[in-house]
Amino acid sequence: MMIHEVTEAVGKHRLRTRRGRGSGSGRGKTCGRGHKGAGARSGSGGRLLAEGGAKPFYRRLPKRGFNNARYALRYDLVHLEQLNVFDDGATVDPQAFHQAGLTRRPSALVKILGDGQLRKKLTVLANKFSASAAKKITEAGGQVQIIS
């Protein structure tokens, strides 16, 4: 092979190791399994997460109690600066946030956060507002309406 024949494809895929093909291969005789013992036998490999006689970690942890993660309300967050994409004097609601690409779902619960400046007069309908966001919206001449 000459230097001008080298391309990106050369050396991209490494050949798999052929075990048990003589001592010159580097993986001959015991094929990297060592001498005797459970690891040298076929079918070894053991259970996933086995700890060699110690109690496995997942069995040491308590499994009791209640976790609120399944029932917690999750809000899509919209920053005040992002509301500048809407027209001046518009009424914006969760459906409008979704159409503008600010939330993931049209039915998402929305919380407005006060990061940035609002340069337009908007009527904003959302499920929650931070105190700073509500203050900045009213200072810009807009209105805040909480959706239940």
Q: What Å distances lie between residue 4 and 11, 101, 145, CA to CA? A: 15, 49, 69
CATH number of 73-146: 3.100.10.10
Backbone angles phi, psi at 23, to 5 degrees: -70, -25
Q: In this predicted model, what pLDDT tens digit does every residue of 95-124 receive, in sequence order?
A: 999 999 999 998 899 999 999 999 999 999
With pLDDT > 70 as the criterion, what percentage of the chain qualifies?
A: 100
User: What pLDDT does residue 111 have?
Assistant: 97
CA-nearest of 106, 144, 140, 117 to 128 is: 144
Q: Is the pLDDT of residue 10 over 80?
A: no
E strands along 2-146, which residues?
75-79, 91-92, 109-113, 123-126, 128-129, 143-146
Q: Is the pLDDT of residue 5 over 90?
A: no
pTM of the complete model? 0.57
User: What pLDDT does residue 2 have?
Assistant: 83
**How far is residue 131's CA from residue 148's CA, in Å, rounded to a whole number?**
17
